[in-house]
Amino acid sequence: MRKKINALYAIFGIALLSLLHSCNNDIPITDLSETKDKHSYKTNMMTASNYVAKSEETEIDGYIKRRKWTDMKRMENGLRIWEYHKGEKAINYDDEVMFRYSVQSISGKDIYVNEFDTIVVGRNEPNIGVDKAMLFLHHGSKAKLILPSHLGYGFIGDSDRIGTNMILVYDIGIK
């Protein structure tokens, strides 16, 4: 029985190879290095990424303007911070920081309300935006943070309540 199965596989393999060989003679082979724009995929991805970033910038700027948060500061990476109650001691790398937070989407939908977390600054947890913001804040501070999607949970979300490419608005109180 096993010999019959092996013989059938061999016949099938030979038939498949001859079919592929006869079909491939008429297919022109294109060298990708000869194409005019060999970086078109990368260029398209960069264009799309820039479009999303500019769109988010416009949306965030409008959000801030409507709320008249004139003291909100924009960091180089797009993070927005407004420390509306300044604490005393600056937060540094490797500090363990306990904080209370609420998160909304930029459209105003509550995502998390009055949650608590503890992080060690510099480990990019719970996300890179909150981690980076801590370095501009103080122990005992209260602040508003606006995270563009690339500093929040990005394309993936948090697998629970935060969806794809969401701009997040945090209200945090640091202990």
Please tell me the predicted confidence (pLDDT) of residue 119: 95
Residue 166 lies in a domain: yes
φ/ψ (deg, to 5) at 123: -105, 5
State which H helix or E strand residue 89 sits in. Answer: strand 89-90
Residue 15 lies in a domain: no
Residue 36 lies in a domain: no
Mean pLDDT of the chain: 84
What is the residue range of 70's domain?
55-174
Q: Is-above-0.75 flag for pTM?
A: no
Confidence of residue 159 (pLDDT cuts 50, 70, 90): confident
Q: What angle do CA 84, 118, 138 make, to 5 degrees?
A: 30
Residue 40 lies in a domain: no
State which H helix or E strand residue 105 sits in. Answer: strand 96-105
Confidence of residue 33 (pLDDT cuts 50, 70, 90): low
What does the alpha-carbon distance between residue 115 and residue 79 come to, in Å, rounded to a whole number?
21
Residue 32 lies in a domain: no
Q: What pLDDT, in 10s, does the model give residues 125-140? A: 888 999 999 999 999 9
Indicate which CATH number applies to the domain containing 158: 3.10.50.40
Confidence of residue 26 (pLDDT cuts 50, 70, 90): low
